[in-house]
Structure 1
């Protein structure tokens, strides 16, 4: 199989520090590769090098000149003064230019009839109608509707979706995608999964979304301490093989460490005779010393900050109402928060999730109703947009501006520097400027500042954006043990499934519905609702029908008597499955989905049994 693109002896770094050296990687046609690694490992840099956005300091990128690469940056840039239409439609593509002219014309309330007829004919002549439908579908899915709108007026999320839409329309030979699911709602992510896995697309992507990774990719490449490791399989397979590799690395490191100790003793003996020592053994010593220095312990972010005491009264929303531009965002919503509430906030983009969060936290006063906050409630609000850090400020000074010392869950008080170390910011990074941090490291710093407040009411708005998977696993472990109230907004279906026990569904028309269960259970219930046929219209029974015909038969009476026992059995099964889900390992999300499906099926059975009970009970009472 011919390689489409390859990196040979690649080396790159910033600020006099190498991210990687002598790195080799090849991508074949039809391969869908996920690039994983901790924040700051160099994933985004590697993507940009492969997409030929700039040249490496060492090595080269090899590909056929005719191979077209489509690149989605984390923060895409656009030509000055462009409209959406200018950006989307390529001047070199005749079909696209016809579609552009047609789409712009039909946006006009009074289109010129002659021009419209000409475009109909030309679009048919160039077989562009199917292509026009594909383009409109992509733009609609990305929430792009007004082609004449200037790009400069779009939000950061809208710009990311616009850049992704253009790439999907161009359909290049190689897709290079940096966090493609950021700023997409879950419905759009599921649509994107199907699109990327159709045909024989070649893809290299960085994503934190484990469901998306498993559903799209067939190869995982890990970038770890400047080296590449390949895994042909899904995320669970990658974790298994990675743990085996790390165990082997640890064994090798300990052997090298013991050998280095012996060699050091040999080097220290008879220093005056150093020149007559075996030169090859001396060289081996320095090589061994270098290998041992390069190895760093597999550290994990530590999240164990103290939670503030929580009283009986936490937060009450009383008949909340909010509109923007005459559109109802929230209409008469009430809820009393209880200890241990774990709520996922779901809904399409633009349905008002951030508005509700701002009302809850007091950043926005509702037009109607009131918010009653308990005296002991302490918010921790991790916002989607992140914090506006001063790029020229030192990392440690940003933390010290909040507190010099921080109380931990075990009662200990530690310094700002020690806390930064627990969050994987070594002394060198602590005293460096914020501008030198990667996007993911800035997000980790933001998360740390939120947790420093010792909140008992934690709100996480898209916490998975730009965080590496290792940090997400630790965050999940922290959240599982967090005793306070949690509200989670995330397009990461795995995180929603694992962390929420209840959903607030923003319906888009002002309504906020409450669903008891996690996201997978909710989606299954929606799918099941679609499959249930509508009830037939009831017809009036003839007057000749007697009451005797409605009486229960012996078999039906026996069925009614046994239903109560059946209901209890079903409820016990649901309870046992729910308990077992809590004990499933956080990375085994397929098993979580399987359990959720079983629970949903049991709930459907239980509902049918209860309907039958109502029917039989009514007849028995006649």
Structure 2
């Protein structure tokens, strides 16, 4: 039976002041299907890279498993898909049939093998790389975000596919997807890993209970710190009085021509006792404050929403095109009132993103119909692409006419570490760039939000926080997203494209 045993493992990247992982201990069985959950930037992909032997660490990792990482690196995407997949699996054409068997299970046609890999849709690329990964027998999968760029139908196909496979560790932020495929959870909690038996819902129940307990613990520690600080101030005052007494005693003794080195014994003892008490109190404060650092405090997000008192947009007989191709099977008709949230649903490539661009006035995409917005409506738009972000956060804030302090505060609520504030936007991870776009949208004043796949690359905890914000604030929105848990929670009306 294959096993993976991690003992006292610690890791930090060069330049980091704190460890990403500290004295981690974990034991895994090869038959388990594990979901790896944690905030963006907490080290999920890093952990997989450590297991693959890509990074040096302290401690020990013992295993008799052979790891298979997804997504494999594609060195030449201009080659045919067949050449790319054979290169990844390090096999020749005589074993192509093994890949084709996996492709069949994922609903991929053999026709894609002759097409250049970079001309496949993102969903097709994902499925092709999965087929290559699982064509290799007796390997333990390390699967990093297989649901990105997949529509709801594609996610269901991949979920059914992974259910049939042996053990693996899967990073995914789609809660319904995780519930369907896993039987254990590894949760990254600050610098530690915790193991839970069960699916995502099992972990969620434990996470909610932990948050409640930690909120109570935080309140208790803060009260104790306040008491200790008051005690420290009293002790400092006591020590000051003792010092004055010592100096006064010394001065009086000099006045009566006694030994100049003589100091009141009583005053000296009082001062020494006060100093020792102060040291213990300050050490207690430091210990309590250190405990506070290990408490995960749920953040309450806000948005700069300004509701209108009238219909926000009316769309009549809208038809959209991409190039010369008509996208919609039938004309689009809908009305959006204040507080309504319209979810656009459809397969990849059906035209959902094109509709959002057309609604914002890109008239060259409209082949028929009308779009009528309320007078002087303010739209906050989140694109599904990252538009080659670069530069500083200050420059980004200036571009969108935001106060930098407001943007930084929102990023902190979304789980950004302060050291990331100095990083060039181009060097941020996909998850960090996505959070930046969301933070910007939440900060800018708006009457309506148009969000195109806003949850891509976002961790499950952040998804929950955004979901809570929307359900409590009830903003007007048009949303495209393939996380059905999210869209079912926030949507008030649905339109299939």
Which TM-score applies when normalising by structure 2? Answer: 0.79
Pair 1:381-2:381 in alignment? yes
Q: CA deviation at 1:305?
A: 1.5
Matches of 1:263 and 1:502, distance apart in 2: 54
Kept in 1: contact 2:186–2:196 (CA 8 A):
yes
> Is the Cα contact below 8 Å between 1:85 and 1:148 reproduced in 2?
yes
CA contact (8 A) 1:220 1:230 kept: yes
Instruction: Note closer, same or farther for the CA distance 1:482–1:253 as it changes in structure 2 (3 Å cut).
Output: closer
Query: Residues 82 and 258 of structure 1: is their aligned pair in 2 closer, same or farther, counting only changes over 3 Å?
Result: same
Closer/same/farther in 2, CA of residues 14 and 152 from structure 1, 3 Å limit: farther
Q: Residue 85 of structure 2 is aligned with which of 85, 88, 91?
A: 88
Contact 1:33 1:204 in 2 (8 A): yes
2 CA distance for matches of 1:2 and 1:332?
A: 54
| Counterparts of 1:90 and 1:438, CA distance in 2 | 27
Is the CA contact 2:388–2:426 (under 8 Å) kept in the aligned structure 1?
Answer: no
Deviation at 1:344, TM superposition (A): 2.2
Counterpart of 2:333 (choices 317, 321, 335) is: 335
Matches within 5 A, 1:269-288: 273=272, 285=284, 288=287
Per-residue deviation, 1:320: 1.5
Q: Tell me the secondary structure at the aligned position of residue 377 of structure 1.
A: coil
Q: Pairwise mapping of residues 507-526 of structure 1 onto structure 2 (< 5 A)?
A: none
* Worse-matched range after superposition: 265-274 or 182-191: 265-274
Q: CA deviation at 1:405?
A: 4.2
CA contact (8 A) 2:38 2:188 kept: yes
Q: How many angstroms does 1:482 deviate by? A: 4.9
Please state if 1:315 is matched with 2:314.
yes
Q: Assess, with a 3 A threshold, how the Cα gap between structure 1 residues 281 and 466 changes in structure 2: closer, same or farther.
A: same
Q: Which of 478, 485, 490 is the aligned partner of 2:481?
A: 490
Matching of residue 216 in structure 1 with residue 214 in structure 2? no
1:167/1:275 CA distance change after superposition, 3 Å = farther
- Tell me how far apart the structure 2 counterparts of residues 403 and 366 of structure 1 sit (CA, whole Å): 28
SS for the counterpart of 1:380 is strand
From 130, 136, 152, the equivalent of 1:186 is: 152
TM-score (structure 1 length as normaliser): 0.65
How far did residue 133 of structure 1 move? 5.4
Aligned counterparts of 2:288 and 2:483: Cα–Cα separation in 1: 43
CA contact (8 A) 2:105 2:161 kept: no
Q: Is the 8 A contact 2:320 2:358 kept in 1?
A: no
Q: More deviation in 335-344 or 261-270? A: 261-270
Q: Could you say if the C-alpha distance between residues 16 and 338 of structure 1 is closer, same or farther in structure 2, counting changes exceeding 3 Å?
A: closer
Which position in structure 2 is the counterpart of 1:69?
67
Structure 1 residue 490: Cα displacement: 1.8
Checking the alignment, whether the CA contact within 8 Å between 1:342 and 1:485 is kept in structure 2 is: yes
Change (3 A) 1:42 1:505: same
After TM superposition, give the deviation of residue 168 of structure 1 in Å.
3.0
Alignment counterpart, residue 132 of structure 2, candidates 166, 169, 178 = 166
Hey, what does 2:304 align to over in structure 1?
305
Q: CA deviation at 1:287?
A: 7.1
Shift, 1:448, TM fit: 1.8
Q: Which residue of 2 aligns with 1:49?
A: 50
Shift of 1:322: 2.6
Contact 1:144–1:162 (8 Å) recurs in 2? no
The CA distance in 2 between the partners of 1:432 and 1:479, in whole Å, is 29
Q: Match for residue 31 of structure 2? A: 30
Q: Structure 2 CA distance, aligned partners of 1:139 and 1:250?
A: 44
Does 1:151 find its partner at 2:117?
yes
**1:395 maps to what in 2?**
393
| Partner-residue secondary structure (3-state), 2:342 | strand
1:243-302 superposed Cα distances (whole Å, 9 cap, x missing partner):
333444455555555666676747857596389959x96997487256336335504151
Query: 1: distance between equivalents of 2:487 and 2:227?
Result: 52
* Cα drift, residue 182 of structure 1: 0.9
Provide the secondary structure at the position in 2 that maps to 1:27: strand
The verdict on how the C-alpha distance between 1:156 and 1:134 changes in structure 2, with shifts beyond 3 A counting, is closer
Q: In the TM superposition, what whole-angstrom CA distance separates every residue of 1:5-45 from its partner, at most 9, and x where no partner exists?
A: 53642323353232222122222121111111222212221
Matched, 1:206 2:171: yes
Q: How far off is 1:354 after superposition?
A: 2.1
Distance 1:387 1:157, change over 3 A: farther
**C-alpha displacement of 1:345:** 1.9
Is 1:360 matched with 2:359? Answer: yes
User: Does the C-alpha gap of structure 1 residues 99 and 431 become closer, same or farther in structure 2, counting only changes over 3 Å?
Assistant: closer
* 8 Å contact kept, 2:89–2:136: no
Q: Cα–Cα, structure 1 residues 29 and 136, in superposed 2: closer, same or farther, change >3 Å?
A: closer
Where in structure 2 are the equivalents of 1:388-427 lying within 5 Å? Answer: 388-390=388-390, 393-405=391-403, 415-425=406-416
Q: Distance in 2 between matches of 1:7 and 1:205?
A: 21
Using a 3 Å threshold, how does the CA distance of structure 1 residues 152 and 358 change in structure 2: closer, same or farther? same
Gaps of 5+ in 2: 241-270
Instruction: Report the Cα offset of residue 475 of structure 1.
Output: 1.4
Aligned-pair Cα RMSD in Å:
3.6
How far 1:316 moved relative to its partner? 1.9
Residue ranges of structure 1 left out of the alignment (5+ in a row): 101-127, 407-413, 507-622
Q: Supply the distance in 2 between the matched residues of 1:132 and 1:155 (Cα, whole angstroms).
A: 19
1:137 Cα deviation from its structure 2 partner: 0.9
The 3-state SS of whatever aligns with 2:113 is coil
Deviation of the 1:202 alpha carbon:
0.8
CA contact (8 A) 1:346 1:353 kept: yes
After superposition, the Cα gap between the structure-2 partners of 1:34 and 1:499, relative to the gap in structure 1 and judged at 3 Å, is same
Residue 516 (structure 1) aligns with: none
